[in-house]
């Protein structure tokens, strides 16, 4: 049973962000199982003037335990330098300061443009929050020891008309148990669906972020044949298919790839006419930032465009790519990617360091717009909210860590050892 209630509510107002940092791969470290959250791209509203460069905030403090005043909340309003939001640490200090709670650990959340309550706990999501504030940034603060983690997530603020009801009356959604996720300390994307607006609805372009994870990519491909519609009627053509997902692997954990999905492209390069070995080599060569375009075997879960009420694919596919050039060619090019520029050199001082770039490479704007982390329940520390009161962040990662080890063993069971 959830015992805690939000103790503080901070309502901020901010002018439109000038430019989003663009959530490129790797900037949001650490994965959160089951946490659906949304990041939207820049240029959403170019008509809006960027006159105000200050962020003004107001806040309300609500507290149930410490003698409820009006809804038990306290509001504060203050302003921030929009162009220079600073570090999360500083912002956190500022919040503690304006609410005069210097030694209280709090959870900070904000309402994004879709009305989702999303956490702010590192520089990246803090910057995201500031840059997407439209026009104001509404910030929610809860005391950590009594935090209601179920409050976070998609639709949290939309479904309930009143934000405060949602935050203050957790009993309201007792009937619809929410998935409780631990509060992550560190975010990073593990996968995303990208280029939704330029691909046919039957295709799905999935990006897997291998870098930094110990998790194996965890899938196998095979030769097969698919039926294509051609001007001459139906034609059977050879194709490459996903043949197996390794339990606990990255591919399976994203839920975006499935057995018998046909692989159409690897990092923007079509696989038709290429052999299984060739496609294997291409995937391995791109394993640190693998973008696979598939035709899912199960076409029922496709992303339906311009519909925010669709199923698992998330809400923010709608307007996120307006600024993206309308072309079928993917904007990413392996050459421009930075994902494996991190070769390491050990000079004679014996300290390994990353090899710097000699020539500046302009990084292309990522087409990345949405990251989705979908896990089936019961896996990797998923706990329904009404069963367990509070799970701290650490417990989630711990479980994952434990399950990972046997998985890795599993992966060593076969495969090519060496090709000379």
Partner 1 sequence: MRRFLRSGHDPARERLKRDLFQFNKTVEHGFPHQPSALGYSPSLRILAIGTRSGAVKLYGAPGVEFMGLHRENNAVVQIYFLPGQCQLVTLLDDNSLHLWSLKVKGGVSELQEDESFTLRGPPGAAPSATQITVVLPHSSSKTLYLGTESGSVFVVQVPGFRTLEDRTISSDTVLQRLPEEARQRRVFEMVEALQEHPRDPSQVLIGYSRGLIVIWDLRGSRVLCHFLSSQQLDSACWQRDGRLIVSCHSDGSYCQWPVNPDTQQLEPLRSCVPYGPFPCKAITKIFWLTTKQGLPFTIFQGGMPRASYGDRHCISVVHNGQQTAFDFTSRVIDFTVLSEVDPAAAFDDPYALVVLAEEELVVLDLRTDGWPPVQPPYLASLHCSAITCSHHVSNIPLKLWERIIAAGSWQNTHFSTMEWPIDGGISLAPTPPQRDLLLTGHEDGTVRFWDASGVCLRLLYKLSTVPVFLTDTDPSEHLNAQGEDEWPPLRKVGSFDPYSDDPRLGIQKIFLCKYSGYLAVAGTAGQVLVLELNDEEAEHVVEQVEADLLQDQEGYRWKGHERLCARPGPVRFEPGFQPFVLVQCQPPAVVTSLALHSEWRLVAFGTSHGFGLFDHQQRRQVFVKCTLHPSDQLALEGPLSRVKSLKKSLRQSFRRMRRSRVPSQKRRPAGSPGEVPERSCRTERLGLQNMELAPVQRKIEARTAEDSFTGFVRTLYFADTYLRDSSRHCPSLWAGTNGGTVYAFALRVPPAERRMDEPVRAEQVKEIQLMHRAPVVGILVLDGHSVPLPEPLEVAHDLSKSPDMQGSHQLLVVSEEQFKAFTLPKVSAKLKLKLTALEGSRVRRVSVAHFSSCRAEDYGEHHLAVLTNLGDIQVVSLPLLKPQVRYGCIRREDVSGIASCVFTKHGQGFYLISPSEFERFSLSTKWLVEPRCLVDSAETKNHSRPRNGSGPEKALGRARNSGSQSDGEGVLKEIQSTLEGDRRSYGDWRSQQVAMSQVSRPGVQAVR
Token couple for 402: 């434990």
What is the per-residue DSSP string for 269-330?
Answer: EE-TT--HHHHHHHHHHTTTEEEEEEE-S-GGGPPPTT-TT-STT-STTSSTTTTS---SS-
To the nearest 10°, report the CA torsion of 374, 375, 377, 381: -120
Our finding on whether 220 is near partner 1 (CB under 8 A) is yes
Specify the residue, 387 or 412, whose C-beta has the smaller distance to partner 1: 412
Tell whether the torsion through CA atoms of 131, 133, 137 and 142 is positive or negative: negative
Q: For the chain, report the end-to-end CA distance as a whole number of angstroms.
A: 60
Closest separation between CB of residue 344 and partner 1, Å?
4
The CA distances from residue 74 to 62, 68, 222, in Å, are 4, 10, 59
Q: Are 54 and 46 in contact (CB under 8 A)?
A: no
Our finding on whether 291 is near partner 1 (CB under 8 A) is no
Closest separation between CB of residue 224 and partner 1, Å?
8
**Maximum pairwise Cα distance, the chain:** 76
Our finding on whether 259 is near partner 1 (CB under 8 A) is no
Question: In whole angstroms, what is the distance from residue 273 CA to residue 239 CA?
Answer: 8
Q: Which of 95, 282, 371, 383 binds partner 1 (CB under 8 A)?
A: 282
Our finding on whether 346 is near partner 1 (CB under 8 A) is yes
Our finding on whether 347 is near partner 1 (CB under 8 A) is yes
Q: Which of residues 24-43 bind partner 1 (CB under 8 A)?
A: none
Binding part of the chain for partner 1, among 33-41, 57-65, 135-143, 357-365 by CB under 8 A, reads: 357-365
Our finding on whether 285 is near partner 1 (CB under 8 A) is yes
Interface size with partner 1, residues (CB under 8 A): 59
Closest separation between CB of residue 412 and partner 1, Å?
9
Region class of 100: left (phi > 0), else alpha (psi between -120 and 50), else beta? left
Specify the residue, 328 or 344, whose C-beta has the smaller distance to partner 1: 344
Our finding on whether 328 is near partner 1 (CB under 8 A) is no
Our finding on whether 206 is near partner 1 (CB under 8 A) is no
The CA distances from residue 237 to 183, 260, 265, 270, in Å, are 47, 15, 15, 14
Q: Which of 1, 345, 392, 394 binds partner 1 (CB under 8 A)?
A: 345
Q: Are 280 and 419 in contact (CB under 8 A)?
A: no
Our finding on whether 287 is near partner 1 (CB under 8 A) is yes
Our finding on whether 134 is near partner 1 (CB under 8 A) is no
Our finding on whether 280 is near partner 1 (CB under 8 A) is yes
Binding part of the chain for partner 1, among 11-19, 187-195, 218-226, 294-302 by CB under 8 A, reads: 218-226
Our finding on whether 343 is near partner 1 (CB under 8 A) is yes
Our finding on whether 327 is near partner 1 (CB under 8 A) is no
Q: Which of 216, 239, 248, 296 binds partner 1 (CB under 8 A)?
A: 216
The CA distances from residue 337 to 25, 213, 261, 286, in Å, are 10, 18, 26, 10
To the nearest 10°, report the CA torsion of 127, 131, 135, 138: -20
Binding part of the chain for partner 1, among 111-119, 128-136, 173-181, 340-348 by CB under 8 A, reads: 340-348
Our finding on whether 405 is near partner 1 (CB under 8 A) is no
Q: Which of 278, 299, 307, 377 binds partner 1 (CB under 8 A)?
A: 278
Binding part of the chain for partner 1, among 47-55, 148-156, 165-173, 264-272 by CB under 8 A, reads: 264-272
Question: In whole angstroms, what is the distance from residue 420 CA to residue 418 CA?
Answer: 6
Our finding on whether 297 is near partner 1 (CB under 8 A) is no
Question: Which residues of this chain interact with partner 1, rule CB under 8 A?
Answer: 210, 216-224, 243-244, 251, 266-267, 269, 271, 274-288, 290, 333-335, 340-348, 352, 355-359, 411, 414-420
């Amino acid at each position: 049973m959830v015992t805690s209630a939000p103790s503080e509510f901070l309502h901020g107002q901010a002018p439109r962000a000038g430019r989003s940092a663009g959530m490129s791969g790797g900037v949001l470290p650490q994965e959160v199982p089951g946490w659906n959250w949304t990041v939207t791209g820049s240029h959403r509203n170019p008509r809006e003037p960027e006159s105000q460069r200050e962020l003004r905030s107001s806040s309300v403090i609500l507290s149930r335990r410490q003698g409820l005043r009006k809804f038990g909340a306290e509001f504060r309003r203050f302003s921030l330098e929009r162009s220079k939001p600073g570090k999360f640490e500083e912002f956190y200090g500022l919040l503690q300061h304006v609410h005069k709670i210097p030694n209280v650990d709090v959870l900070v959340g904000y309402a994004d443009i879709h009305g989702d309550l999303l956490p702010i706990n590192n520089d990246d999501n803090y910057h995201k929050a500031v840059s997407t504030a439209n026009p104001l940034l509404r910030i929610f603060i809860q005391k950590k020891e009594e935090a209601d983690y179920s409050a976070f997530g998609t639709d949290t603020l939309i479904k309930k008309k009143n934000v405060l009801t949602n935050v203050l009356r957790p009993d309201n959604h007792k009937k619809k148990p929410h998935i409780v996720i631990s509060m992550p300390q560190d975010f990073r994307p593990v996968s995303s669906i990208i280029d939704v607006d330029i691909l046919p609805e039957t295709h799905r372009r999935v990006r897997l972020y291998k870098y930094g994870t110990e998790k194996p990519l965890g899938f196998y491909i095979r030769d097969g044949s698919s039926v294509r519609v051609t001007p001459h009627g139906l034609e059977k053509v050879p194709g490459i298919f996903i043949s197996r997902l390794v339990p606990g692997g990255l591919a399976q954990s994203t839920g975006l790839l499935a057995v018998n999905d046909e692989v159409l492209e690897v990092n923007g390069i079509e696989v038709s006419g290429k052999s299984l070995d060739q496609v294997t080599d291409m995937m391995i060569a791109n394993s640190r930032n693998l973008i696979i375009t598939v035709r899912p075997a199960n076409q029922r879960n496709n992303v339906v465009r311009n519909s925010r009420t669709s199923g698992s694919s998330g809400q923010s596919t709608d307007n996120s790519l307006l600024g993206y050039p309308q072309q079928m060619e993917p904007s990413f090019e392996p050459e421009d990617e930075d994902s494996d520029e991190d070769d390491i050199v050990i000079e004679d001082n014996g300290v390994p360091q990353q090899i710097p770039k000699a020539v500046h490479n302009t990084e292309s704007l990522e087409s990345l717009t949405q990251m989705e982390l979908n896990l089936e329940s019961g896996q990797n520390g998923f706990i329904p909210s009404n069963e367990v009161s509070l799970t701290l962040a650490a417990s989630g990662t711990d479980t994952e860590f434990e399950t990972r080890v046997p998985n890795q063993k599993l992966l060593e069971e076969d495969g090519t050892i060496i090709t000379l």
